[in-house]
Amino acid sequence: MRPIPDAPLRLGTRRSPLALAQATEARVRLCAAHGWPEEAVSLVPLAASGDKIQDRPLAEIGGKALWTKELDARLLAGEIDFAVHSAKDVETFRPAEIAIAAMLPRGDVRDVLVGAASVAALPRGARVGTSAPRRAAQLLHARPDCEVVPFRGNVATRLAKLAAGEADATFLAAAGLDRLGESAVGHRLDPLDWLPAPGQAAILIECRADDRESLGLLAAIDCPATTAAVKAERALLAALGGNCHSPVAVLTTSAGDELHLRAALFSPDGAARIGGEARFAIADAEGPSRLAAELLARADPLIASHFTGVTA
């Protein structure tokens, strides 16, 4: 049990309902781990650029940095002590001054389809709302007759757009629905058939890389299994050399000291797909890179042109 801080520690978060739910979970876990009252950690909600700009896909206006840059600036300025993010929203390459200090136990990695019981059950020509390149490419690969329509906003906004008839169906993350108390919404897709996004369902907490006190505090709530899996997924992304327009899907499972990565790359229009898998020891830092090289070596030019990784 650590002494209660003289002043509340400041936990930065985006203002969306889901972000606040994730930050609250982080605060509860941190205070429980150290025997503190919840008042020992205060939430500092900030508006992210990604929340402010809702009319265009993120890939067109700055990518994942739109979710992190405001929190990064406050963190580096010493205005907050740590920051909470959805792992899938954090850029593959982070500033050297910022460290990923902990990941909480991962939630349900599956995607949820709202508007039909399955992708196969979508009506012919259905308009499906999503602004995620992975979801769009997977949909068009499975159902080229469908039409993808841009769909951004938080969970409530997207469900409202769906109810208003702006699309016939949409995708949401199961973990986000669970954290908002909306577990009954939609139909959860088999993750072996519909691979999730890298980092999906994981909550990531960062602090300044030179802040040893915060690094020590956050280590107490780190989930090693989640950290190993998400680090492998982020290493795969790094080795692929993709960007916000590069559709990548991945599912990681573990058994003992071994990880099993299943991954698929798509062309943005879904016309081409390449899949592969690899098993390697958690301690094998090169395992994800080998899978990336193998995928790129077999990739159709329609896919390879969207990645800059080195082929085998």
d(CA 208, CA 210): 5
Which one of the listed residues 51, 72, 81, 89 is annotated catalytic? 89
Q: What is the DSSP letter of 166?
A: S
d(CA 155, CA 50): 14
Tens of pLDDT, residue by residue over 174-200, are 999 999 999 999 999 999 999 999 999
User: CA-CA distances (angstroms) from residue 294 to 253, 269, 305?
Assistant: 19, 22, 15
Is 170 within 8 Å of 151 (Cβ atoms)? yes
Q: What's the pLDDT score for residue 152?
A: 82
CATH of 111-188, one of 3.40.190.10, 3.40.1010.20, 3.40.50.300, 3.40.50.720: 3.40.190.10
β 169-173/147-149 pair status: unpaired
97 CB neighbour count, 10 Å cutoff: 12
Q: Within a 13 Å sphere around the CA of 197, how many CA atoms are in the beta-carbon half?
A: 26
Residue 89 annotated among the catalytic residues of the structure:
yes
| Residue 63 pLDDT greater than 50, yes or no | no
Residue type, 78: G
- Given pLDDT bands bounded at 50, 70 and 90, which one contains residue 61? very low
| Residue 310 pLDDT greater than 70, yes or no | no
- The CATH fold assigned to 9-104+202-222 is D-Maltodextrin-Binding Protein; domain 2 (3.40.190)
Average pLDDT, the chain: 92
DSSP string across 293-312: HHHHHH--HHHHTT--PPP-
Q: Which of 310, 307, 234 is nearest to 265 (CA)?
A: 307
Q: What is the percent of the chain with per-residue pLDDT over 90, rounded to a whole number? A: 86
Query: Cα angle at 46 between 44 and 50, to 5 degrees?
Result: 150
d(CA 21, CA 43): 11
- Given pLDDT bands bounded at 50, 70 and 90, which one contains residue 311? very low
| Residue 56 pLDDT greater than 70, yes or no | no
- The alpha helices in 92-211, defined as continuous H runs, are 133-142, 155-163, 174-179
Tens of pLDDT, residue by residue over 252-280, are 999 899 999 999 999 999 999 999 999 99
| Phi and psi torsions of 216, nearest 5° | -70, -40
Q: Which of 272, 278, 279 is nearest to 298 (CA)?
A: 272
Q: What's the pLDDT score for residue 312?
A: 39
| Residue 48 pLDDT greater than 70, yes or no | no
Tens of pLDDT, residue by residue over 1-27, are 678 888 999 999 999 999 999 999 999
Is 132 within 8 Å of 158 (Cβ atoms)? no
What is the average per-residue pLDDT within 26-47?
96
Residue type, 236: L
Domain extents in the chain: 9-104+202-222, 111-188, 234-304
Q: What's the pLDDT score for residue 133?
A: 94
Is 64 or 141 the better-scoring residue by pLDDT?
Answer: 141
Same fold? 9-104+202-222, 234-304? no
- Residue 213 contacts by C-beta under 8 Å, 6 or more apart in sequence? none
- Residue 256 contacts by C-beta under 8 Å, 6 or more apart in sequence? none
- Given pLDDT bands bounded at 50, 70 and 90, which one contains residue 243? confident
Q: What's the pLDDT score for residue 97?
A: 97
Q: What kind of architecture, by CATH, is found in domain 234-304?
A: 2-Layer Sandwich (3.30)
Tens of pLDDT, residue by residue over 130-159, are 999 999 999 999 999 999 999 988 899 999
pTM value?
0.92
What is the average per-residue pLDDT within 71-85?
96
